[in-house]
Structure 1
Amino acid sequence: MREYPFYLGGVASAMAASITHPLDLTKVRMQAAHDASMLHSMATTVRTAGVFGLWDGISGTLLRQLSYSLVRFAAYEDFKKRLTAASDKPPSKPQLALAGALAGAAGGLVGNPADVILVRMQGDAARPPAERYGYRNCLDGLWKIVRNEGPAALARGWAPNVVRASLMNASQLDSYDVAKAALLNAGMKDDIKCHSAASFAAGTIATTVCSPADVIKSRIMNASGSTSPLRAIGHALATEGPRFVFRGWLPAWTRLQPTTMLTFVFLERLRAAVDATRDI
């Protein structure tokens, strides 16, 4: 198995997230601000902030992908090699899931500060004017959080974030590998059609598995007070019922599906470019 630069996953994720950022913005605002629907949320954003308002918080998105996604992709490949070091066989499905969960936890920890900033930047327009954070960009947000709330605020929501990241990786990266292997075994060529089909399956599985942790994470990170995960869950259950954990599933799927597909297609293209330079 060929090795590739550790940063390719982060670069591919940043490329994909730049395109699908408006969908991620809409998902967060639905989860945090209780917007009625995806279209209503997007229409509200355009009406109040203009079309470019759909890219509010883009610097936070890039910071997140170049921390969280860079680490999770790099760690996933490393854990796969470590788990199969004593064998010449390819990793099994349980090994892939374990590698994905461990890598996701590592990425979630490293990327938590960027996640806090991103969630706040994306949800800011939905807050009352007097309660808005007003971060100009991710670096301004980082500075203001540390100055006004202390460094510990950057760890806000780290527990559900790590859980969500573990679930995401275990359900997205390994399902892509499994689906791709199955398609290749079925006779498909290792091309963009195969990559797109495998990533489509990975995106749907990951959205469903991650929705509960994703909703709770957004609620906690968007709050400025001391809100514990249990308190957030209890309040949501009392006011919205158990279905709240799948609130925003459609925009989450609509965002994650193209993001997943673009990420893996970009990643495969970047790997192909690296291979081309090796063959020169």
Structure 2
Amino acid sequence: MADKKRPVYVQYVLGGLSGIGATCVVQPLDLVKTRMQISGMGGAAKEYNNTFDAIGKIVRREGLLAMYKGLSAAIMRQATYTTTRLGVYTSLNDAYKQKTNKAPNLLASMAMGMTAGAIGSFVGNPSELILIRMTADGRLPVAERRNYTGFFNALFRIAREEGILSLWRGCVPTMGRAMVVNAAQLASYSQAKAYLVSSELLNEGIGLHFTASMFSGLITTAASLPVDIAKTRIQNMKVAPGQAPPYKSTIDVIVKVIRHEGLFALWKGFTAYYGRLGPHTVLTFIILEQLNGLYNKHMGVEGSKSGL
């Protein structure tokens, strides 16, 4: 029987659902990563010594549920960024295969991943900015907190108080980070997977995917964390009327961090970032494959894969 073609929108929906499922598991580590990245700004004393110290202090001061602050924004980020990113990548991948009758090589995969990441991060920047602010709010003195009650409250308040274009503050470093992440993930994942299989250390299956994903997460974390810190600082900064913003650009953030906090401060929150990125990648793709399988089974689609 001929393969039944799957509607393009399904690729976007399944991609978004897989990202949302993974985010619900790893959101606490994303919050810790953000708190650590903005700790010690401008040479101030660091609030946290390490990831575990941060977790302990947040739970002790704000309660256990504080670890899930910003979850509504995190879900909306996945509904926008991941839906677009995975949908665009899958569409580009399918188009490449149809045109060339072969799977894309490493460079083509990296180019498609970077393109999908850039488009997805532009679409998802408002929810990314809101997520950063909501997860960072608890560390501020009560009088200085923004006190957003949820995603849409934050969305309308930012648009009203700061202007609608403020929702895209930090868009350039966000897109840069997404391109670095996608390029590093695809390259390191494929190389790690090929090595593990050729060395007969692991066979095809979840164990192989998990190991390759965790290695990929390590490389991706090291490559993208400096850009991620710049993005976080820019999106979280407060700009007083008539005053210059604390940071002007990605380069300005990086220079000031090195000058005031030291070179290795660019990798602040490494453990939390890696602890989030690795499992999030694994969970996203495992959930995506399961959703694809269920869709194919119930809709009578034969031989269709996720394209990832």
Shift of 1:73: 0.7
Q: CA deviation at 1:273?
A: 1.4
Q: Which residue of 2 aligns with 1:245?
A: 266
Q: Which residue of 1 aligns with 2:215?
A: 201
- The aligned residue for residue 121 of structure 1 is 134
Structure 2 unaligned segments of length 5 or more: list them. Answer: 41-47, 240-244, 302-308
CA contact (8 A) 2:159 2:166 kept: yes
Q: Which residue of 2 aligns with 1:222?
A: 236
| Residue 52 of structure 1 pairs with residue 58 of structure 2 | no
Q: Give the CA deviation at 1:15.
A: 0.4
Which whole-Å CA distance do the structure 1 matches of 2:265 and 2:255 have between them?
A: 11
Answering whether residue 226 of structure 2 is matched by residue 212 of structure 1, we say yes
**Contact 1:80–1:95 (CA under 8 A) maintained in structure 2:** no
Q: Which stretch shows the higher mean deviation, 11-20 or 39-48?
A: 39-48
Superposition deviation, residue 189 in structure 1? 5.7
Give 5+ residue unaligned stretches, structure 1: none
Distance 1:103 1:149 in 2: 29
2:28 counterpart residue number: 22
TM-score normalized with structure 2 length: 0.84
CA distance in 2, matches of 1:152, 1:140: 17
Matched residue, 1:63: 76
- Aligned counterpart for 2:289 among listed residues 263, 268, 274: 268
Q: How many residues align?
A: 280
Equivalent AA in structure 2 for residue 228 of structure 1: K
Contact 1:211 / 1:246 at 8 angstroms: preserved in 2? Answer: yes
Change (3 A) 1:270 1:181: farther
How far 1:263 sits from its partner (Å)? 1.1
What percentage of aligned pairs have identical amino acids?
Answer: 32
SS of the aligned residue for 2:89 comes to helix
- Aligned AA for 1:194? L
Tell me the equivalent position of 1:106.
119
Secondary structure at the aligned position of 1:23 is classed as helix
Letter in 2 for 1:248: G
Does the 8 Å CA contact 2:96/2:103 hold for their aligned counterparts?
no
Q: In structure 1, what is the Cα distance between the partners aligned to 2:195 and 2:300?
A: 28
1:146-165 aligned at under 5 Å gives the runs 146-165=159-178
Which stretch shifts more, 237-246 or 151-160? 237-246
Q: Indicate if the aligned counterparts of 2:27 and 2:71 stay in contact, CA closer than 8 A.
A: yes
Q: CA distance change for structure 1 residues 180 and 271 in 2, over 3 Å: closer, same or farther? A: farther
* TM norm structure 1: 0.92
Q: Which residue does 2:298 correspond to in 1? A: 277
Question: Quick one: distance in 1 between partners of 2:52 and 2:112?
Answer: 37
Question: Do structure 1's residue 259 and structure 2's residue 280 form an aligned pair?
Answer: yes
Aligned-partner residue type, residue 215 of structure 2 = A
Q: Which moved more, 1:205-214 or 1:80-89?
A: 80-89
SS in 2 for 1:136: coil
Q: Is the 8 A contact 1:56 1:122 kept in 2?
A: yes
Partner of 1:86: 99
Provide the aligned C-alpha RMSD in A: 2.3
Q: 1:142-184: CA deviations, max 9, x gaps?
A: 0110111110110110110000011112222454456556666
Q: Please list, as runs of the form range in 1=range in 2, the aligned pairs for 1:165-176 lying within 5 A after superposition.
A: 165-173=178-186, 175-176=188-189
SS class of match (2:11) = coil
Greater Cα offset, 203-212 or 97-106: 203-212
Task: Check conservation: 2:193, 2:208, Cα contact below 8 A.
Answer: yes
